[in-house]
Amino acid sequence: MRKFLCSLILITFAAGLHAQENTLTMDADFLTRGEIRSGGLTAGDDMVPDFAAFILERTLLGIQYDRAGLSTRVNIQHSGTWGGAGGGGINLHEAWVRLQSQNGFFGQIGRQNLSYDDQRIFGVDDWAMTAKSHDALRLGYEGHGHKLHLIGSWNQNPVNINGGTFFSGGTQPYKALEALWYHYDIPKTHLGFSVLFMNVGMQGGDENNPEKTRQQQLLGTYISFKPEKWSAEAAYYHQLGREEHGLPVNAWMASFKGAYTDTHGGAYLGYEWLSGDPQFSVPAQGQIGMQQHKVIRGFSSLYGSHHKFYGAMDFFYLTTYYGGFTPGLQNAYVGGKWMPGKRFTIEGSYHFLATATKLRNAKMPLGHELEMSASCKIYKDARISLGYTFMYGTETMELLKRTAGKRQLHWAWISFSVSPRIFTAQWPKKTEPAPAL
């Protein structure tokens, strides 16, 4: 049996071993962003938001080797705040090996980015100063309009002799992950659709009193229709199973976006609904109140590019509500962009935000958010961008976040990014005979 499996693997990938050319590249990604914040919502009964200004930076340095049938990449990441103690943090962002056959099958193992569809569930989240990556094994097939990916991951603490299999923290919060993603582009229709199934194992407790790993499932679909200048996309996902403390989960989300784009700009509009916990109630400031929930109905967007959705302020699904539960979210938005030249882009949008469930002691609207941004491409690999966002929060927003002070938030930023390919080398390689089976 073992000899048969080894022979099957060699036959599948033998075609990729007849390499004709080797390529070695070195690339970098330098990002510096300054931010100014004034007003807004700050946690704490007696805290008033302060003016804040800071500069963030992120640097990625990658080396990649490619030949027919084989690719490997190592990417080092440094991120921090100017003047921060310790000089920021350095970590291994990517370190993977990929085997690829000529008939479309592949296998990839190591620390890698997982990005699918519109990046709502799996995304790189490039806006963040520490982009997401996963330690995983990915097997799949791509060909004839079909894409099928099978993903598996098992996370463990570095020292586990005394801790057994308990896991806490790490690159990602889950202990185990299994996912299946399938995508198909229907010929001659401009229509494509994806199906995603994922099982996430989350462990509760602590090292001294570990709880068993609870399994949570997600099943959903993403559909896109892009005929020339027009486009439409929609998604639906449902979450089931149990969260790490054992409570059952029954949550869902749905979204739609339509857009028109040409060489001079375009416009778009959309709507998102993320389910929330019913009968959500927050006591007034200075009072203590408890709310018991038997089922978690607040949708979790898991490992997606959060900054891309739900408003640029990131008040939702990056920061929690009082008590840890969520009343869900409605996000209705409209926007447009204008490209006065090949190098310039100007964009603006408006968001109306509200809870998805009715509240016992407040109205559903959360606030209004106005976003404006502009960018200029200096060179093909260098860009400067700036933006301004204003949000006016309602009394409900102030109540849910348990805040004091102004409900108006001003946020401005300017960033400079350069992504050069520093070095590229290619050299021929004699054809190697396929290994004997």
Locate the domains of the chain by residue range: 2-97+207-428
Question: What single-letter DSSP state applies at residue 14?
Answer: G
For the chain, percent of residues with pLDDT exceeding 70: 83
Q: Provide the pLDDT for residue 287.
A: 47
Q: Provide the pLDDT for residue 359.
A: 82
pLDDT in tens, 122-140: 998 888 888 789 999 999 9
Band of pLDDT at residue 434, cut at 50, 70 and 90: low
Q: What's the CA gap between 113 and 307, in Å, rounded?
A: 17
Q: What angle do CA 391, 393, 394 make, to 5 degrees?
A: 155
Q: What's the CA gap between 51 and 413, in Å, rounded?
A: 14
Q: What's the number of CA atoms in the CB half-sphere (13 Å) around residue 100?
A: 14
Band of pLDDT at residue 344, cut at 50, 70 and 90: very high
Assign 340 to helix, strand or coil: coil
Band of pLDDT at residue 172, cut at 50, 70 and 90: confident
Q: Is the pLDDT of residue 1 over 50?
A: no
Structure tokens at 193: 């659709």
Lowest mean pLDDT among 24-33, 158-167, 247-256, 322-331: 158-167
Q: Is 380 exposed, middle or buried (0-12, 13-18, 19+ CB in 10 A)?
A: exposed
Closest by CA position to 221, among listed 197, 188, 187, 191: 197
Tell me the mean pLDDT in the region 41-59: 71
Burial 293-321 (b: 16+ CB within 10 A, else e): eeebbbbbbbbbbbbebbbbbebbbeeeb
Q: What's the CA gap between 364 and 197, in Å, rounded?
A: 32
Q: What's the CA gap between 165 and 85, in Å, rounded?
A: 33
Tell me the mean pLDDT in the region 350-371: 90
In whole angstroms, how far apart are CA 229 and each of 189, 272, 308, 363?
14, 23, 22, 39
Q: Provide the pLDDT for residue 11.
A: 43
Q: Is the pLDDT of residue 383 over 50?
A: yes
Which phi and psi (to 5°) does residue 87 adopt?
75, 20
| Cα separation of the two ends of the chain | 14
Q: What's the CA gap between 213 and 166, in Å, rounded?
A: 9
Band of pLDDT at residue 94, cut at 50, 70 and 90: very high
Q: What is the pTM of this model?
A: 0.87
Q: What angle do CA 379, 383, 387 make, to 5 degrees?
A: 155
2-97+207-428: CATH architecture: Beta Barrel (2.40)
Q: Is the pLDDT of residue 285 over 70?
A: no
Q: Provide the pLDDT for residue 149.
A: 98
Structure tokens at 360: 């016992």
Which residues are CB-neighbours of 287 under 8 A, at least 6 positions away? none
- Dump the DSSP string for 230-248: EEEEEEEEEEEEB-TTS-B
Tell which wins on pLDDT, 18 or 185.
185
Residues 20/68, Cβ–Cβ less than 8 Å: yes
In whole angstroms, how far apart are CA 232 and each of 9, 27, 87, 268?
41, 34, 44, 10
Bridge-based pairing of strands 146-154 and 176-186 is antiparallel
